[in-house]
Amino acid sequence: MTPTPSSAQTAAVATAASATATNPLLAPWAGPYGGVPGFDKVKVEHFKPALEAAMAENLREIDAIATNKQATTFENTIAALERAGQRLDEVQTVYGIWSGTLSSPEVQAIQREMAPRLAAFSDQINQNEALFKRVEAVYNSPEKAKLTPEQQRLSWLYYNNLVRAGAKLDAKAKTRLSEINQQLAGLFTKFSQNVLADETDSVLVLKTTADLVGLPVSLRDDAAAAATSRKLTAAGVITNTRSSIEPFLTYSDQRKLREKAWRMFYNRGDNGGVHDNNAIISQILQLRAERAKLLGYKTHAHWRLDNTMAKTPEAAMALMEQVWTPAVARVKQEVADMQALARKEGAGANFKIEPWDYRYYAEKVRKARYDLDQNEVKQYLQLDKMREGMFWVAGELFNFNFSPITNVPVYHPDVKVWEVKDKTTGQHVGLWYFDPYARTGKRSGAWMNAYRNQQRLDGQPVTTIVSNNSNFVKGKEGEPTLISWTDATTLFHEFGHALHGLSSNVTYPSLSGTSVVRDYVEFPSQVLENWLPTPQVLQRFAVHYQTGKPIPQALVDRIEKASTFNQGFETTEFLASALIDMKLHLAGDQKIDADKFERETLAHLGMPREIVMRHRTPQFSHVFSSDGYSAGYYSYLWSVVLAADAYSAFTEAGGPYDKAVGQRLTKNIFSIGNTVDPAQAYRNFRGRDPKIDALMRERGFPMAAAKKASAAPAKSVKKAAGKKS
C-alpha cells in the first residue's frame, strides 16, 4: 500500500513543480547536440530556488531507491543511482560557471549561503543507512561476479565512496561529520572569495612611460588596454593575475616596480584585514584532522591518499624527496649564473638576487647562453594559431575534427564553441567551449570543466560537453593575442583534460572521462604538453603575427637546447607547494599558524631564499578552496612521471605521431575513464610500470642524485605507482 503523503510533502512537490515551470535552470537542456545549457536565460536570482528544488527532487529519487521493496539488484540500486540527480548536476554546472567566471557580490552571497547547505545535502545522501545497505548488498553479493567488469568497478566505487564518506559511522559520529563538512564548505567559500577580492581589488598602476621600460610591445599594449578597461589615466595597469604578473617580472627594468608587483601577487590572502586567509587555513586544518580521525584515519593526508595510485603519504613523499635535492642543487647553479651576469652588467658587489629578480635575470641568462629571447618566441605564438595547432594534434592522435558553431548560447561574449566530430565517420563526439580571457569576477588560473559527461546508460548515447578556461590578457581590438611559451604549454595541458573527456567511451557517467583518481587525472593533460614543441606543430602554427612566416628552425633549435634551462626554479617552486601541502596535512590536529609553518618548514627543507612557493599557503586555492587537491598537489609530479614515461613510448617507436602507440594511448588511457584500475590501465598501455628515468632526463637532473636523495630508490616509486586502487 502506498503511504499517503503529508501536507508538507504535497506542498513541497507543488512548490518544486511551480519552480520548474518558471525557473529556466530547472528546465531540461534543450536545443541541438542532445541539449545544451541555456546560458542566455540565466539570471542570478534563479540559482538559489533552482538549487533548492533540484536538491529536493534528488532526495526524493534517493528515497525511492533506498525504500524499494524489491530484492536488491545492480539495476535497481547502482544503475538507479546513476540515473538520479541529473537535474541537480545541470543546475550545479551552470551555478559553478557563474561562481568561477562571472562572480559578483550577488553570486558570492548565494555561495556563502548555499555552500553549507549543499554539504549537508551530500551528507544526507552519504549517511542514508537504507541506501548504504542496498549498495553494500550489491557489492557483497555472489551475483556480482556475473556483472560486467565496468559494472563491478562501479559497484566498488559507490561502496568505497560511501564508506569513505562515513556510511559506517554511528549516529553521533555522523552528526559531527556533517557539522564538520558544513563548516568546511563555508570556510572554502570564504577562502576563495578572499583570494578573488585581492586579485580584483589590487593592481599595479604604471604611471608614466618610464614605468614601461623593458616591457615588450605586446605587454605594453595589454597594460594600456587594462588601464582603459578600468578607466584609469595611466601608461598602463598590471592586473593581479599570473598571466599579467609573470611577464612583468620577466621584462620590467624597474626593480622597485618588480618588487611591488611580486609582493602584490604573492601576498594575496596574506595582507591582514577582512580578506586575510591565515585564520581560515588554521580552522580548515583543524576540521580536516578531526574528520580524518572520525573516519578512522591517522591524518587527513592518509584519508585522501587511501584512494589514489600513491596509496600512502609516504609513497608520495618518497617521490618528491627524490626530485627535491637535484632540483635545489640546480637552483644554486642558476642563481650563481644570474649573480655573475648581474655583476657583469654593473650591479654592486653586495647585490643579491631576490625573488622579484629571478625571472628577470633568468631571462637574461637564457638570452646570453642560448641566444634565446622568450619575447622573440612570443611573436610566433598567437593564441588563435596555438588553438588551431591543438585541434590539429587532436586530429592526428584522436581522429577528431573541430568546427566552430554559433547556434548555441554562451554565458559571455568572449566564449566560443566548437563541435567535435570523428574525422573518418563524421559522427558527433561532443562540444568544446573556450573561455580564454581574464575579466573581473573570473578566478585566476586555467582549468577544464565537463558540463556533461559522456555515457550510454540507457542504450542511447549521450555525448559530452567540455570547456577550457584561461586568463590571457586581451590585447588591442583586432590584433592577435600573443602568449608566452609557458602559456602555450598550459594551453596544451588543459586541452589534454578536454581530450580526456571527449575521448571517453564508457557506459556509466560516474566512470566517464576525467572521473579518475587525483594523481592520475593530470596524466593525460601532462602528456599532451609534449606535442607543443614537435616540428609538425611549430612549423605549421607557430607563425609570426606580422609576417605570417613560420618560426625559424634555428629558433626552434635554440628552444630545444634551452629545454632544461631554469628547471631548478620551475621544479622547486612547484615542489615547495606540494611538500608544504603534504606536511600541513600530516601534522594532525596540532594548532597551526600558517605563515609560521610555511616559513619554518621551508627553512627546514632548505628552500632557496631566491624562490617562493608557486602557490603560497594563504592563496593556495588548489588546497583550501575545496578538498580537491588537499594533500594531493603532489599529484602533478606523480602524473608527470607517468607522462614522461608514456611519451617515451612514442619516441622509442616511430615518433610523436606514431599511429600504433597513439591508438594504444586512446584505447588504454583516454577512452576508458575510471572503468579500469589506473595502475593496470597504464600497464596495459606501456607493458610495464612507469619509471622515473624519463622525467629526470627531461629536466636535466642526474639520476644518481635522485637515487642518493632518498632511502627509497627509483624502483620504489615504480612499485608505489603500480599499486591497485
Provide the annotated active-site residues.
494
Say which residue the cell 540559482 belongs to.
Answer: 47
233 by Cβ neighbours in 10 Å (0-12 / 13-18 / 19+) ranks as exposed
Strand-by-strand arrangement of the 428-437 sheet: 400-405, 416-422, 428-437, 464-472, 447-452
Q: Which residues pair with 482 in a beta bridge?
A: 382
Interatomic CA distance for residues 160 and 152, integer angstroms: 12
Nearest to 387 by CA among 492, 525, 503: 492
Asked if residues 166 and 290 have their Cβ atoms less than 8 Å apart, the reply is no
User: Half-sphere exposure of residue 717, counting CA atoms within 13 Å on the CB side?
Assistant: 27
Interatomic CA distance for residues 506 and 515, integer angstroms: 11
Provide the 8-state DSSP code for 644.
H
Interatomic CA distance for residues 406 and 597, integer angstroms: 51
Helices vs strands, H then E, count in the chain: 30, 7
Strand, helix or coil for residue 417: strand
- 566 Rama sector, left if φ>0, alpha if ψ -120 to 50, beta otherwise: left
- Quote the distance between the C-alpha of residue 291 and its chain's center: 24
Q: Which amino acid is at 110?
A: I
Cell of 628: 580537491
Nearest to 309 by CA among 709, 630, 581, 680: 680
